[in-house]
């Protein structure tokens, strides 16, 4: 399912820890070991949400984020907006 806004979202270490139920130190270790790709901006680590191979930490983050998004939509009685695909 495609959504109107496909722009990547950057998450802080704290946000990732909350989404995955991990400690912030663990998230920093994942970044340090290369299991999550992060960039340091203004002294803060940020990870850009993106599709990743199954079984990776990024895949887990991606899946959990969209699960939370759908739960919020259901809570507020809204449905995801599908992109119109051009007919060939």
pTM here is 0.62
Rounded-to-integer distance, Cα 66 and Cα 73, Å = 10
Instruction: State the average pLDDT for the chain.
Output: 76
Q: Which of 37, 34, 56 is nearest to 46 (CA)?
A: 37
Token pair for residue 10? 């950057």
- Whether the CB-CB separation of 14 and 39 falls below 8 Å is answered with no
Domains and CATH numbers, the chain: 10-75 (1.10.1660)
If you average pLDDT over residues 47-63, what whole number do you get? 80
What pLDDT sits at residue 31? 92
- Whether the CB-CB separation of 80 and 1 falls below 8 Å is answered with yes
Share of the chain above pLDDT 70, in %: 70
Confidence of residue 85 (pLDDT cuts 50, 70, 90): low
What DSSP designation does 56 have?
Answer: S
What pLDDT sits at residue 64? 82
């Amino acid at each position: 399912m495609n959504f109107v806004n496909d722009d990547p979202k950057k998450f802080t270490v704290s946000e990732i820890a909350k989404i995955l139920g991990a400690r912030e130190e663990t998230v920093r270790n994942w970044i340090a070991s290369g299991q999550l790709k992060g960039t340091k901006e203004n002294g803060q680590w940020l990870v850009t949400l993106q599709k990743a191979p199954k079984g990776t930490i990024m895949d887990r983050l991606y899946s959990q984020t969209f699960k939370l998004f759908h739960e919020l939509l259901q809570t507020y009685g809204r449905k995801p907006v599908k992109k119109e695909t051009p007919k060939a």
